[in-house]
Structure 1
Amino acid sequence: MSNEEVSPELQRASGFKRLKESGYGGLFLLCAAVTLLTTVAIFATLLSDSVAFFAQVPLTEFLLGTEWSPNPRGGGQLFGIVPLVIGTVTVTITAAVIALPIGTLTAIYLSEYATNRARSILKPLLEILAGIPTVVYGYFALVYVTPALKATIFPQLGTFNALSASLMIGIMTIPMVSSISEDAMSAVPDSLRQAGYGLGATKFEVSTGVVVPAALSGIVSSYILAVSRAIGETMIVVVAMGSQANMPPIKETLLGIPYISPGDVLFESGMTITVSMVQIAGGDLTGGTIPYDAMFALGLTLFVITLVMNVLSDIIAERYREAY
């Protein structure tokens, strides 16, 4: 009896079918190449104009300056990005404080507690929030949220403020966190849940101690995507927060440590990096001027921040990815 193993022939015999399969593979490769080339082209465009900007404005002045005034009619051109970074970070962190816990808890409910009927109704309704135009969120924040906060909790709140804009951005990004996190939790095998129940764990203990750690890579990825979405938001910030780059006062603690009071940022108007780019693009500037090139320097800054966050997301997802 021969010990030779005969491997089955898995290739299709038809040459036409093999050619068609190769064509599909080439089409998919082309789509991937277009995506990659688009990203490279965007980066090259931002970099080329940013080099022209930094040839005239020192990098240290751009990164450490505390005044932003690219309009030559405003009494001089100042290109300090610090007020824009403070506004962007404030909006992003406040929105994350709203979206991440609420989105995660919503995902836990949809995955572990809701019935099939409730899930089929609630999840589409929740995702409708993602389809509402962002200018509607901004209008709602300006007309309803700001007056309500000013009349109840924060009477010192300005008409244009970062708090209302951040709250609406947080609400807008909740569906992104909840949907992606719920999909990650639903992908956890039921055998892990049954093992927890077999050890006497309650549904809450299984949900928080078994399902969430097993789906951590997907949950963290949803966090990074939601934060990236908050960083790039423009219309809500323009309508509800205003478009004035204000540097909040720097105070000192009893030990002489400088700090910025959150109230000085949240309760006043401000400007984010994306709003500044829109403001420059909507002006009467022509190509080749310093303010025009500054728009690309701001875009490059956002590109780098988003790239770092996406790379971080991939590292975390790879580190905690579970194979079932």
Structure 2
Amino acid sequence: MSLTTILLILAVLGVASFILARSRALGSVDGDARRLHSLPTYYGLNGLLTAVLPALGLLVLWLVLQPLLLERSIAADFPASAVPEGSTIGLVMSDVRRVADGLDAVADQDGLSVLDLDALAATIQDGGTALGADLTPEIVAAAQDYRGARAWLGGIMVVAVLAVALIGAAIAWRASDGAFRARNVVERGVLVLLIAAASIAVLTTVAIVLSMLFETMNFFRQYPASEFFFSTNWAPSFSGRGGASELGILPLLWGTLYISFIALLVAVPIGLFAAIYLSEYAGKRFRGIAKPMIEILAGIPTIVYGLFALVTVGPLLRDAIASPLGLGNSASSVMTAGLVMGIMLIPFVSSLSDDIINAVPQAMRDGSLGLGATQSETIRQVIVPAALPGIVGAVLLAASRAIGETMIVVLGAGAAARLDLNPFEAMTTVTVKIVSQLTGDTDFASPETLVAFALGLTLFVITLGLNVLALFIVRRYREQYE
């Protein structure tokens, strides 16, 4: 049974529980709603929440734990002698999952164990499922076991979820009488939902940090931290389990900061000046046209910016500046990616700064002008200091977006990891290498793959440092008003 079908059944059970609980509550007082402790709707909502929420909780927990436990069970029974040389059980289990998914797409599943393995592999790959290695009888057998166990556990899951929903509906129906404090129960239930919703962001952040931290620790057990942080060479090799790899972060970090710096040099002045003009000088008619036009830039996909950098900006900079000055002959460069990324970041700085500037009380403007200050002096000495925290936040948002950008860098700056001051040379960033290290069939036990988590954690620490620095600047230079 598909997940959509289960959710539809739960919705039907929830509606039925709502109607039955409400009807029983009214029936217990002979239809006189004034004798009920709560409004009839609260009794129905109690039936709905009691039937649906525990079942949904069980469903989510089952969907999270089942793949982990199932894969661990199949991997434990997989013969070690059947693991190909140079591979790991993790890669083998990836193929087992692919074969199991491919077998689901094969119409005739009779006698799969005796079919020609090459024909079976071709049939699975024709269905859109790629295999990482040659198909073996052990993998086919494990895939069949995986499919069978998955189907069996899926059936148990459906029965368990529906049983919990029915039990919850029965409990709510039995409790629905005139003396039952349905409103209090529903409000507590909604409060729990709100607390759970508020906790999701915190728990997600903690989970992300812990996952990166644990995998980074595994990486540093296999690769020296000193070489990672201080080596100037980036040359991963997927042969030799890290022995032939050079995984120094400095070239990637330099490219990230270099491109982001150029992007901010473009975005911050243009965005801030545009915000000041739109909020303090422009008329309502022009502002109503210009601001939406600027914000359209934020809705353009980054792949479009990347193509613009590759096809237009890169060749233009190469032919007009780099080649005549002897600075390079490549259309992919730091300057190309930085300029295009800066254009992309303009609406982030402009729109947020404009909103913050408009939030400055008009009384402050009037007081400054009344004391004889000009409009430009008012902007410099009153409005901008008052709006500084918001402006710093806008710049930080732009900086975070620049550090995390990937597509523009791939198409505009290339993929060369190097330390160079020439802005017309091709370079790359941390995010690009994270993608490249996790692309394809990866072995999550090798340092060449685990380095992606170390790179991600490094970016996280850099972003955290930027936030702390911004907080210090805001507290140090923010103007205080009574």
Report the TM-score, using the length of structure 1 for normalisation: 0.85
Per the alignment, residue 230 of structure 2 pairs with 64
Per the TM alignment, residue 307 of structure 1 is displaced from its structure 2 partner at its CA by: 1.9
The total of aligned residue pairs comes to 297
- Specify the alignment match of 1:102 in structure 2: 270
Deviation of 1:273 (Å): 0.3
Offset of 1:231 from its aligned partner? 0.4
2:331 is the counterpart of 1:159: yes
The 1:126–1:71 alpha-carbon spacing in structure 2 relative to 1, beyond 3 Å, is same
Matched, 1:232 2:404: yes
Match of 2:458 among 301, 306, 315: 301
Pair 1:277 & 2:449 matched: no
Aligned amino acid, residue 277 of structure 1: I
Q: CA deviation at 1:321?
A: 7.3
Unmatched 5+ residue regions in structure 1? 1-13, 249-261
Which residue number corresponds to residue 445 of structure 2? Answer: 288
Give the Cα separation in 1 of the matches to 2:454 and 2:462: 12
Report Cα offsets for 1:18-54 as digits up to 9, x if no partner.
Answer: 7776665544332221000000000111011100100
Residue of structure 1 equivalent to 2:296: 128
Structure 1, 163-172 or 144-153: larger mean CA deviation: 144-153
2: CA distance, partners of 1:169 / 1:177: 13
Deviation for aligned residue 1:322: 5.4
Rate the CA distance shift 1:25–1:187 in 2: closer, same or farther, 3 A: farther
Q: Look up the match of 2:218.
A: 52
Per-residue CA deviations over 1:200-234 (Å, capped at 9, x if unaligned) read: 22221112221111100100111111111100000
Q: Is the 8 A contact 2:317 2:331 kept in 1?
A: no
State the SS of the aligned residue for 2:222: coil
Mapping for residues 224-263 of structure 1, pairs under 5 Å = 224-248=396-420, 262-263=421-422
Shift of the 128–35 alpha-carbon distance from structure 1 to 2, 3 Å rule, reads same
Match of 2:200 in 1: 34
Displacement of 1:174 in angstroms is: 0.8
What's the CA shift for 1:247?
Answer: 3.1
Pair 1:178–1:23, CA change in 2 (3 A): farther
Q: Distance in 2 between matches of 1:273 and 1:280?
A: 11
d(CA) in 2 for partners of 1:187 and 1:18?
Answer: 40
Which of 82, 86, 96 is equivalent to 2:250? 82
Specify whether residues 24 and 212 from structure 1 end up closer, same or farther in structure 2 by C-alpha distance, changes over 3 A only: farther
State how 1:124-203 maps to structure 2 within 5 Å: 124-155=292-323, 156-157=327-328, 158-203=330-375
Query: % of aligned pairs identical?
Result: 46
Q: In structure 2, list runs of 5 or more residues that go unmatched.
A: 1-38, 40-180
2:286 aligned residue (114, 118, 121): 118
Cα pair 1:218 1:317 within 8 Å, conserved: no
CA RMSD in angstroms, aligned pairs only: 2.4
- State the alpha-carbon separation in 2 of the partners of residues 120 and 23 from structure 1: 45
Indicate the structure (1 or 2) with the bigger Cα radius of gyration.
Answer: 2
State which drifts further: 223-232 or 22-31: 22-31
- CA distance 1:67–1:47, shift in 2 (3 Å): same
1:246 offset after TM fit, Å?
2.0
1:221–1:317 Cα contact (<8 Å) kept: no
Structure ranking higher on relative contact order (CA contacts 8 Å, 6+ apart): 1
Distance 1:204 1:21, change over 3 A: farther
Distance 1:45 1:305 in 2: 18
Residue equivalent to 1:215? 387
The 10-residue stretch of structure 1 (303-312 or 131-140) with the greater mean CA deviation from structure 2 = 303-312
TM-aligned CA distance change 1:296 to 1:25, over 3 Å? same
- Equivalent residue letter for 2:438: A
Residues 100, 174 of structure 1: 8 Å contact kept: yes
CA-to-partner distance for each residue in 1:147-190, whole Å, 9 max, x for gaps? 21222222234221111000011111111111111111111000
- Looking at structure 1, the residues matched to 331 and 316 of structure 2 have their Cα atoms a distance apart, in angstroms, of 11
DSSP 3-state at the match of 1:169: helix
Residue 162 of structure 1 aligns to which amino acid in structure 2? V
AA aligned to 1:184 is I
Indicate the structure with greater helix content: 2
